[in-house]
Structures are given as structure tokens and as C-alpha cells.
Structure 1
Amino acid sequence: MNLQDKYLGWGKEVFAIEEQSIREVANSLDEHFAEAVTTILDCRGRVIITGMGKSGHIGRKIAASMASTGTPAYFVHPAEAGHGDLGMIVDGDVLIALSNSGESEEILALIPAIKRKHVQLICITGKTSSSMAKHADIHLCAHVSQEACPLGLAPTSSTTAVMVLGDALTVALLRARQFTPEDFALSHPAGSLGKRLLLTVADVMHGGQDMPLVQEDTPLREAIVTMSEKGLGMLLVVNIAGELCGLFTDGDLRRLFQDNRELKEWLMADVMGHTPKTITAGRLATEALKIMQENHVNGLAVIDANNRPVGALNMHDLLQARIV
């Protein structure tokens, strides 16, 4: 066996061991998991997660996942809690403590104070007979039969199992709260997902004086000047009542040049497309993108309830807004 095959084999072995560990924890889930979800849902305060070492790293991730999906949560380092940060935990909170051995001295030292504060204690450990398990109001077992580390020393399968158990709690809470994509976006306004879910057509369209608007009896030569000035590569064409009746794009103009050596004295009514693709200002920008992609167009007219143009947008606007 060459080195490349050996390394590949080692990698696949880790996946196999950790996959089995996750199955072991999944099969051990019982009514205590449901009780933990109910306790967190009934929590009047916040969820605090704590853990030492690698468990602490996993705890930070679980806290971040919960906080972004409708369950207010944050991480407190157990050593710092013993030197003042315990004041961050108050009556009505729920504390989730992580420790594979269940014998973390830093966490055990906090338990008497936690009990006096009337804080519900959920412990996630790998041993049902551990000290933390015995003191917990609710104990979730994350026991694994084998670490992926061949030395049996580095936390590997055990931390993965706790991570997945934390995800299971997070998702169960999310579903129980009927958390929506829009709720998620409100927690991620600076991210691309937040922009995709929150931005409306009104946020990205060109309206008012920037709208590329012409009448249907406008001469083509004059309309081309307007299209060039507005810089959107399109024109919204309206009738005498101000209603949208057509759309003219730079693609339409190129095709006219291809078919005719000279531009005739056409009016916009002679050359415009009579079935423009439209959208309303209150729709999501992602919906505008979908309409463009499905119809193979680069621009849309934005109309009101009376079919009157209120704006225009093109694919470049969506690119700038990072919708695409």
C-alpha cells in the first residue's frame, strides 16, 4: 500500500468510527431529551452553556447555533464563572454543562451556587454514573464506545457526538418555536442569507427620476437617448393613461440594427415588446431573480396595483445587492 492509499484509509476510518458513535448516541436518546427541550422552551431567562477544554469549544458552537435560531443563549467559561462570571447566570435561566467524563472540577465547583440560584441544570456527559450526571436535573448521555483517535486520548468521536446532540436540541427547539427563514434572517442581517431573505424589490429598484420611462408615441431615436442616460439597458413604455404597455431593451435595439441598415422613423409602439415581465415593489428581491432566470431576461418593470410603473431593476442591481 502506498502512502496516499494509507492516508486515505486512515481518513475513511475516522469517518466510519465517528458515524458509528453518532448512531450510538442517537439510539440512546430517551424521554430525557424531550424533557430537556420542554425545559428550555419553558425557560423564562436564557440558556447558558459551559464546558472546559474541547467541551468548551463545542459549547460555544451550540450556544451560537441556538442564539441564531430563536433560543437566546450564550457561553460562559466555567473557570471564569468561579471568579465572578457566575453573576451572569440568574434565577430563571437554564444551564447546559458539557463534560465527557462528567467530573470537570471547574463545573462541579459551580453546582452548589447554581442550585441556590434555582437554575435548571442540564448535563451532557459520557457517563451516567458521573458526579455531574448525579447532580443534574436532566442528564443526557453522550457515551461513545470508541474515540477516532487511535491512542484513545484526543477527544474526537466524543466531541462529535456532543456536537450532534447539541444540533438535535437546537433543531428541536427551532421546530417547536416554528422558527421561519425570515426570523433567521433577522439574526443575520449582515450575511448573504439575511440580504436574500430581507431585501425587497423596493430596496434595489430605480424609481422616480431614475426610472427609464417613455411614452408609446415617443420616437425611437429620442427613446434611445433616454435609455442611454438612465443606464439600465431598458425602457418602460407607458400609454396615455400612464399604464405599462411595453418594454424595450438594448437587446431589442441590437436586433433592430441587425435587421435594418437604417433606423426608420419608428415610434416606441412599433418596436417595444408587448408582454413585459413585471413585479411589484413589495416582493422579495429573490423573487425578482427567480422571474428573470425563469424567463431568460435581464430586467423587470416594477408596477403598482393599477399597472403603473413605479420602478425598474436589472440583473446588475441584484448583483450589487449580492442577491445573486
Structure 2
Amino acid sequence: METEKEQIKDFLSIESEELKRFIDDIDTEALIQARDLVLKAEKNHNRVHVTGIGKPGHVAGYAASLLSSTGTPTYELHGTEAVHGSAGQVMSGDVVIAISNSGETAELKATVETLKRNGAKLIALTGKKGSWLAKQGDVTLIAGVNQEGDTMNKPPRASILAEMIMLQSLSILLQNAKHLTPQQYVKWHPGGSLGASIRESEGK
């Protein structure tokens, strides 16, 4: 039986290999298309929302916060509440980023169908190219891995990191398109060590 140290080493080895493969093959053109879809929506005074079910729902919260803090106001949309009234926060022409590793999650299907009927544009973020969600996207971002990092290969670990990397990459493209400066950034992040570090650098 493996020692605890060996277990961790094996996990990290698998995860790092999976993420390296994903990063080497990342679809830059799809990211550019996603950026342009968001910029077009903002130009038309529309908004951006992020949604997911389960653990991708937590990724959605992080993405909404990251994008908002880097110049793209973004709202987290609860993946199941959307079909119970919360879809009202999404207007025709808004962009919704929907996250699902399998791309087949039943609850998310209902949400996506509702939002598309209401005129939303969809950025699909999934690990499966041929999935239902992938086929629904106006733009589709593939963040797929073969191994999550453990023998069961079920609990989402590497796939969650791949989704986050894809969304972080999108945030970089949007941030640079808007020429975000430290002075603008600190307006949205005045507290904590980040805000303090920017203010201190301005005072030098």
C-alpha cells in the first residue's frame, strides 16, 4: 500500500500532466471569440452572467468575482434558481457563461434552454466536445481532462482547475482589451493587501 507521501505525489503528478496537456492545447481562437462576444454585449449595454451546478457553481462564483474586479461587471446566476424566477435577471442580449464538465447535467440543461429562449447569448464551458452543452454555445470553450487525479477518476479536481484556467484566460483578454490600470483596479479592490500594495506603489 502506498504511503501518504506517495499518494500525494501520484495525485500531483497526474494532475500536473493533465493540466500541462490542456494548457498546451488550449483553444485561443475560441477564447478570442468569447472575449468579442462579451465586448459586443457590453457595447450594447448588456450584462454578463456565470452559472453552473454543483462544484462548477463554485467556479461560477469565483469567475464572476474575478471578471468584476478586472473591469467586466459579472453576475453569478444560481444554476437551479434560474428556472424558478432568477432567469429574470438575464435580459435579451446578455451573455451567460454556463459551466459543466460533462455538458449533460439535467438541471443546467433546463436553465440554458430557458435563458436561450429569453434571448441570451451562451458561452458554453465544458470538458466534452460532443456534449449537449457544447452544441448549445454561441461560443464553446473546451476545458477537458482525461484524469481527475485519483484512482476513482470521478471527484472533480483537475477538471475544476482546467475550467478556472480557461476563465482566467478569458479575464486576461478582457482586462487587456479594456487597458485596465492599477488605479482603476484599486477602485474595485480598495481593501486588503492588494489595495494597500497599489496605494503604496503610487505613493513612492
Alignment TM-score, normalising by the size of structure 1: 0.58
Equivalent position of 1:93 in the other structure: 94
Contact 2:99-2:125 within 8 A present in 1 as well: yes
Equivalences for residues 126-165 of structure 1 within 5 A: 126-165=127-166
Contact 1:97-1:121 within 8 A present in 2 as well: yes
1:18 to 15, 19, 33: 15
Equivalences for residues 1-324 of structure 1 within 5 A: 6-26=3-23, 27-44=25-42, 45-198=46-199, 284-285=202-203, 287=204
> CA–CA distance in 1 between the matches of 2:156 and 2:114?
29
Residue 109 of structure 1: how far off its partner (Å): 0.8
Contact 1:149-1:155 within 8 A present in 2 as well: no
> CA–CA distance in 2 between the matches of 1:196 and 1:34?
31
> CA–CA distance in 1 between the matches of 2:118 and 2:52?
19
Local SS of the residue matching 2:59: helix
Amino acid at match of 1:9: E
RCO (CA 8 Å, sep 6+): is it higher in 1 or 2? 2
Unaligned runs of 5+ in 1: 200-282, 288-324
> CA–CA distance in 1 between the matches of 2:92 and 2:55?
28
Percent of paired sites with the same residue: 35
1:161-191 CA-to-partner distances (Å, cap 9, x unmatched) read 1111111111121112111111111111122
**Number of aligned residue pairs:** 200
Amino acid at match of 1:177: K
Amino acid at match of 1:89: V
Local SS of the residue matching 2:41: coil
Alignment TM-score, normalising by the size of structure 2: 0.90
Residue 98 of structure 1: how far off its partner (Å): 0.3
Contact 2:50-2:97 within 8 A present in 1 as well: yes
Local SS of the residue matching 1:111: helix
- The structure richer in helix per residue is 2
- The structure richer in strand per residue is 1
User: RMSD between aligned alpha carbons?
Assistant: 1.9
Local SS of the residue matching 1:48: strand
Residue 108 of structure 1: how far off its partner (Å): 0.8
Amino acid at match of 2:38: I
Larger Rg belongs to:
1
Runs of 4+ residues deviating >4 angstroms: none
Residue 30 of structure 1: how far off its partner (Å): 4.3
Amino acid at match of 1:156: R
